[in-house]
Amino acid sequence: MAEQSNQPLFSEFSSPTKQDWIDRAVKDLKGADFDRKLLWNFEENIKIRPFYVQEDLDALTQVGRQQNLTTNVDTTPLAAREWETREYLKVDNPTVTNKLALEALNQGATGLLFDLTELGMADLNVLLKDIMPAYCSISFRTGNSAYAIIKKYKAWLIEQGTDLNQVTGQLGFDPVSRWMVHGELDNSCFHQIFDVLETAQDLPNFKAFVVSGKPIKNAGGSLSQEIGMVLALTVGYLDELTRQGLSPALAFRHLSVETAVGTSYFPEVAKYRALRYLIARLAEVYGVQDFLPQHVYLSAQSALWNKTIFDPYVNMLRNTTEAMAAVLGGVNALTILPHDQTFRRSDGFSRRIARNISNLLQNESHLDAVADPSAGSYYLEHLTQQLIEQGWAFFQEIESHGGVKGAFKAGWIQSQVQEVREKTEKKILSRKQKLVGVNDYPNAREKMDPEAIEPPVTVEATDTEYSLFPMYRAAAPFEALRLDTEREVKRHGNDRRPRVLPVLIGDPVMRKARASFSAGFFGVAGFHILPEQVHQ
């Protein structure tokens, strides 16, 4: 039997240092500036290098102090971790919504999110008929009826004989975030949150206190701004609630952080890791003991900012990227909106496709098999650290401007988000940032009836003293061009569709490249590209 050796493989070779790699890269770049050529300026003050080494990991503050930032308490004997596949259901008709809920549960959903913000209240005996809360998570998104809903829901649970310790879900009532979009803020809302949390004490696993970063994300804000806003909202609520006598420990126990997840894959993974660390840090500051990063409850919903009307099947790819990022980042609950929800009421097929993204990641890709797959990654740990620092810095700036309400009324938050959004819009309008199917690679065969597009639901703003967060999509300016073309064609016939004749002259390689560019350029507006004419 050959003698075994514990000596590492390739030990005879010396390990290159970080500077060795940089020197080699500069040599390959023929002396060009390393930072200017290879550093990615992802966000202001966040620079991503082309490679990382062990010494980058050693310099970080959160590594070692908090291991497995994405490990949550949902570990089971069958998987290293689990997440809830949460189905979003807007409640217009409780009977119809109940049927859709049962359909979703029978097709793989493990949780339900009923949106009652417009309806206000519903008969729970109708809405929740045949739904067993001991076997699935039930959540609500509410307006000012939050306290009435939690009381009614708790009474319904008791009437059904449900063990309250088994009840999971969340009550999505974040009046300050809603105010920043719609301009409505009732100062009694803080008393209502207090009453909601008092009522939810008998529901230890139900998250009745929600803060949302979605408005800032869907207004075009950055990841660090989203993190900072979540922290500022949490502190703002906690200061009001503790002033009324609520225990910080109770608030953190029932806290759910709700976010929108975008397609910046690795940065989004790092965002959730950073949120876990920072929320746990806040709990420590408020004197809450034994509240660790894995105790932070995170829910994610696919973002609206980057979704498109045209070539909507690309939204499936965007949804998949977002779902993977959220799962690897360690969310507890995941809601993927249907790919066609930007322009019509989604049908059963669209809802099933959205739901199955989460199911496939769990049951086919087995992303539940490892508790924290990104732990120890030089790149992701470093990116997490940068988001921790920049998110905390934005939070401190909000606090220095009077907290969320003060900074928002002064217009400071809006101006910061607008600055980021305008930079992104400039990249999209110049096509440096691609929206496949919209500002590049348009599908010329795709036809869209402008009159069939269901406009998004809007709410009249009651506040006009200061600007509110705009809720629109990055693709909207390009889509408006194409919809104008389709509208003209619908009114006057296809003969009115603008035509472009590519005339190819000169070098064959260059003229073909220019023809392809021109076809894409005019195609984004729905122009018809005629067959090429070649002139020698």
pLDDT > 70 fraction of the chain, expressed in percent and rounded: 93
Calculate mean pLDDT across residues 186-191. Answer: 88
Phi, psi of 432 (to 5 degrees): -75, -30
Pull the structure tokens for residue 385.
């650290």
Site of tokens 């889509």: 479
Of residues 371 and 387, more confidence is placed in 387
Say what the pLDDT of residue 457 is.
Answer: 45
Give the 3-state secondary structure percentages of the chain, helix then strand then coil, rounded to 5: 45, 10, 40
Taking the C-alpha atoms of residue 389 and residue 45, their distance in angstroms, rounded to an integer, is 10
Average pLDDT over residues 453-468: 62
Copy the structure tokens of residue 329. Answer: 């980042």
Q: Are 341 and 312 in contact (CB under 8 A)?
A: no
Let me know the angle formed at the C-alpha of 335 by 330 and 337, rounded to the nearest 5 degrees: 140
- Non-local CB neighbours of 478 within 8 Å, separated by 6+ positions: 428, 435, 438, 439, 524
Structure token digits, residue 65: 């102090």
Model confidence at 460, in pLDDT bands (50, 70, 90)?
A: very low
Predicted pLDDT of residue 125: 95
Residue 59 has pLDDT above 80, yes or no: no
Q: Per-residue pLDDT tens for 411-425?
A: 999 999 999 999 999
Closest CA to 349 of 358, 338, 360, 357: 338
Helices (H), 254-345: 265-285, 314-329
Task: Give dist(CA 339, CA 341) in Å, integer.
Answer: 6
Q: 134-145: string of b/e by CB count within 10 Å (b at 16+)?
A: eebbbbbbbbbb
Mean pLDDT of the chain: 90
Alpha carbons 147 and 192: distance in angstroms, whole number? 6
- Of residues 519 and 12, the one with the higher pLDDT is 519
pLDDT of residue 464: 59
pLDDT tens digits for range 422-459:
999 999 999 899 999 999 999 988 888 888 887 554 44
What is the reported pTM?
0.91
Q: Model confidence over 125-141: pLDDT tens digits?
A: 999 999 999 999 999 99
Q: What are the tokens at 366? A: 């087995």
Position 212 scores a pLDDT of: 96
pLDDT band (50, 70, 90) for residue 331: very high
Let me know if 395 is exposed, middle or buried by CB neighbors in 10 A (0-12, 13-18, 19+).
buried
What residues pair up with 499 in beta bridges, in sequence order?
Answer: 528
Nearest to 294 by CA among 63, 62, 72: 72
Lowest-confidence pick of 132-141, 179-188, 254-263, 320-329: 179-188
CB of 323 closer than 8 Å to CB of 360: no
Q: Would you state the pLDDT for residue 414?
A: 95
- Burial (0-12, 13-18, 19+ Cβ within 10 Å), 320: middle
Q: Which two tokens stand for residue 239?
A: 């200061």
Average pLDDT over residues 371-382: 88
Supply the pLDDT for residue 461: 47
pLDDT for the residue 69 = 56
| Dist. CA 73–CA 82, nearest whole Å | 9
Q: Which tens digit of pLDDT belongs to each residue from 469-521?
A: 988 799 999 999 999 999 999 898 888 899 999 898 888 889 888 988 898 89
